[in-house]
Amino acid sequence: MRKLLITASVLALGLAVMPASAETIRWARNSDALTLDPHSQNQGTTHTFVHHIYETLVDRDVEGSLQPRLATEWKVKEDDPTVWVFKIREGVKFHDGSDFTAEDVVFSLDRARSEKSNLKQLHSAVESVTAVDDYTVEVKMTGPSPLYPNNLTNTFIMDKGWTEKNNAVEVQQAGSTDDNYAVRNTNGTGPYILESRDPDVRSVLKINANHWAEKKPDITEIIYLPIADNATRVAALLSGEVDLVQDVPVQDVERLANTAGINVETGPENRFIYFGYRFGDAPLKSSNVTDKNPINDPRVREAMHLAIDRNAIQKVVMRGQSIPTGVANPPFVNGWTPELAAYPEKADVARAKELLAEAGYPDGFSITLDTPNNRYVNDEAISQAVVGMLGQIGIKVTLASRPIAQHSPLIQNSETDFYLLGWGVPTFDSAYTFNDLIHTKAGHFGAYNPSGYTNPELDKQIESLATEIDLDKRNATIAEIWKKVQEDRVLLPIHVQVLAYAMKDKFSLAVHPENQPRMYEVTVNK
Partner 1 sequence: MLAFILRRLAQSIVVMAVVALIAFMLFRYVGDPVASLLGQDSRLQDFEELRERLGLNDPFYVQFGRFIANAVQGEFGISYRLQQPVSELILSRLPATIELAFASAIIALVFGLSLGVFTALKPRSFAAGLIMTLSLVGVSLPTFLIGIGLIYVFAVELQWLPSFGRGDVVRIGSWDTGLLTSTGIRSLILPAITLSLFQLTLIMRLVRAEMLEVLRQDYIRFARARGLSNRAINFGHALKNTMVPVITITGLQLGSVIAFSIVTETVFQWPGVGSLFINSVQVVDVPVMAAYLMFIAFVFVVINLIVDILYFAVDPRLRIGSGRR
Strand pairing partners for 123? none
Minimum distance from CB of 166 to partner 1 (Å)?
Answer: 15
Output the CA–CA distances (angstroms, integers) from residue 318 to 314, 338, 495, in the order listed.
Answer: 5, 22, 10
Q: Does 424 bind partner 1 (CB under 8 A)?
A: yes
Single out the residue of 23, 42, 351, 357 in contact with partner 1 (rule: CB under 8 A). 42
Q: For residues 222 and 238, what is the distance between their CA atoms, to the nearest angstrom?
A: 19
Q: For residues 408 and 373, what is the distance between their CA atoms, to the nearest angstrom?
A: 12
Q: Does 232 bind partner 1 (CB under 8 A)?
A: yes
Output the CA–CA distances (angstroms, integers) from residue 39 to 170, 251, 304, 393, 460, in the order listed.
Answer: 10, 35, 42, 48, 32
Single out the residue of 130, 176, 288, 398 in contact with partner 1 (rule: CB under 8 A). 176
Phi-psi region of 443 (alpha: psi -120 to 50; beta: other; left: phi over 0): left
Query: Which residue lies nearer to partner 1 by CB, 374 or 523?
Result: 374
Output the CA–CA distances (angstroms, integers) from residue 403 to 177, 232, 423, 494, in the order listed.
Answer: 27, 22, 17, 20
Contact 93, 55 (CB under 8 A): no
Output the CA–CA distances (angstroms, integers) from residue 504 to 28, 202, 257, 462, in the order listed.
Answer: 12, 20, 11, 46
Q: Does 472 bind partner 1 (CB under 8 A)?
A: no
Single out the residue of 127, 229, 470, 480 in contact with partner 1 (rule: CB under 8 A). 229
What residues between 341 and 380 interact with partner 1 by CB under 8 A? 374
What residues between 251 and 310 interact with partner 1 by CB under 8 A? none
Minimum distance from CB of 324 to partner 1 (Å)?
Answer: 23
Single out the residue of 25, 27, 38, 41 in contact with partner 1 (rule: CB under 8 A). 41
Q: Does 121 bind partner 1 (CB under 8 A)?
A: yes
Q: Does 240 bind partner 1 (CB under 8 A)?
A: yes
What residues between 62 and 81 interact with partner 1 by CB under 8 A? none
Q: Does 231 bind partner 1 (CB under 8 A)?
A: yes
- Helices of type H across 191-334: 230-238, 250-257, 298-307, 310-312
Query: Which residue lies nearer to partner 1 by CB, 201 or 350?
Result: 201
Of 100-108, 177-185, 306-314, 383-391, which part binds partner 1 (CB under 8 A)?
A: 177-185
Q: For residues 264 and 259, what is the distance between their CA atoms, to the nearest angstrom?
A: 10
Contact 313, 324 (CB under 8 A): yes
Query: Which residue lies nearer to partner 1 by CB, 362 or 409?
Result: 409
Binding site for partner 1 (CB under 8 A): 31, 34-35, 37, 40-43, 118-119, 121-122, 172-177, 179-180, 183-184, 198-202, 225-229, 231-233, 235-236, 238-241, 374, 402-409, 412, 423-424, 426, 436, 444, 447-448
